[in-house]
Amino acid sequence: MKGVTLPTETVFVMEMSPIKFGLGATEEIGFDARRLGLRKVLIVTDPRLAALGLPDRVRALLDEQGVKADVFDGVAVEPTDRSMEEAADYARTKEVDGFVAVGGGSAIDTGKAVNLLTCYPAPLLDYVNKPVGRGVPVPGPLKPLIAMPTTAGTGSETTAVLVTHVVAQHVKAGVSNRLLRPTLGVVDPLSTLTAPAEVTAAAGADILTHAIESYTTRPYDARPKHHPPDRPAYIGANPASDVWCEKAIELVGRYLRRAVLNGMDLEARTHLALAANYAGIGFGNAGVHLPHAVAYPIAGLVRDFRPPGYPEGHALVPHGMSVILTAPAAFRFTYATAPERHLRAAELLGVRVRELDEAARPEALPRALVALMRDIGIPNGLAAVGYGEGDAAALVEGTLQQPRLLANTPRSVGPRDLDAIVRSSMRIW
Ligand SMILES: [Fe+2]
């Protein structure tokens, strides 16, 4: 093969964090921290969880094994570059050899940022992907980070990305680098029992979009060949990511309604926690596309939408809500690129696609998504979270700031396509 230049990619990579999963996995945190050589750690968490007591419990479990821990409980919901830098400023006042992030995606992503900014001090924006930030690569290895998710959603415990709201630009953007991936994910479904129904619904919507976007993204072998050092963390749909994504879609279809209706349904919570992790492994390698790209300005430009179930006094469109709101339109747009994959996703959500006639097939997946969204209480479109037709241009402009995600879309997508997707998502049903 020497000297032969192949025009498209022939290699895919599967990377993930080691995962400890199961009821009571939290109880082993002291053992795991010691095993990783930790002696003094900073627990990174949010005020709601601190009030509920889980971070203190983690601190006590660490202490039993001789690992000292301080708690930083100032993580913001949907964190900003500023809130992440403040967390890092706090961490610099402590001498620690590792971090334990306890919480949803906000806490785990803040843990990743604190690790990065304390190991290699710089403004967070330096590391944020272009064109929002400067796209400086993570300079080298970070300290150990143990991620303990308390929502079944982001899968951040296994991904190489952190997402931040860049205040000055009113846009969300990511830092993506495989060195950000947590050293260990400890996924204990018992830790998700306290998530309110609205949080469970939005986080579950995030799982589903991770899985379907990764399943339908431009395949790895339809992308240009990369030199090994330049191969991105998101490499496109591939045979391994497909396995994780298919299972995640099926589990969300089967258990999300149950977990929203009854938060104490342990069987549903357990399977959703698995689904979140599976989808995280899938999208952590394949990558997400259109719904996540549009979601960034949907969250970033929020005016005064205050969702129930989230801390009061803070306007926000929860991440999972922001990604699912344009998903029906986005998958209608991408259907023709891979009808069999869109139909398979619908089938995994319970649709009997074999019984559909030809004309009904493109609508199978959007309809399945809408049915689920209605059942779990997702607002009816962008209008219901405060946007109007007059905001379409700004939402399109913000989406164009996510070229990395737009390039993952399985067909080329321009401002007019985005405008149509945004407008048709104002009211969905
Ligand atoms: Fe997401």
Strand 145-149, strand 98-103: pairing = parallel
* pLDDT value of residue 2: 56
N-terminal to C-terminal alpha carbon distance within the chain: 54
> What is the whole-number distance in angstroms between the Cα of residue 203 and the centre of ligand 1?
8
Residue range 109-162, pLDDT digits in tens:
999 999 999 999 999 999 999 889 999 999 999 999 999 999 999 999 999 999
Burial of 3 (0-12, 13-18, 19+ CB in 10 A): exposed
Amino acid letter, residue 135: G
Buried b (16+ CB within 10 A) or exposed e, 57-95: ebbebbeeeebebbbbbbbbbbbbbebbbbbbebbeeee
pTM metric for this prediction: 0.94
> What is the whole-number distance in angstroms between the Cα of residue 79 and the centre of ligand 1?
14
> What is the whole-number distance in angstroms between the Cα of residue 161 and the centre of ligand 1?
10
* pLDDT value of residue 382: 98
> What is the whole-number distance in angstroms between the Cα of residue 171 and the centre of ligand 1?
15
State which residues of the chain have pLDDT below 50.
Answer: 1
> What is the whole-number distance in angstroms between the Cα of residue 63 and the centre of ligand 1?
33
Residue from 228, 47, 44 nearest 146 by CA: 44
* pLDDT value of residue 3: 60
> What is the whole-number distance in angstroms between the Cα of residue 126 and the centre of ligand 1?
22
> What is the whole-number distance in angstroms between the Cα of residue 414 and the centre of ligand 1?
22
Residue range 251-264, pLDDT digits in tens:
999 999 999 999 99
> What is the whole-number distance in angstroms between the Cα of residue 245 and the centre of ligand 1?
14
> What is the whole-number distance in angstroms between the Cα of residue 426 and the centre of ligand 1?
20
Strand blocks (E) in 65-154: 68-72, 98-103, 145-149
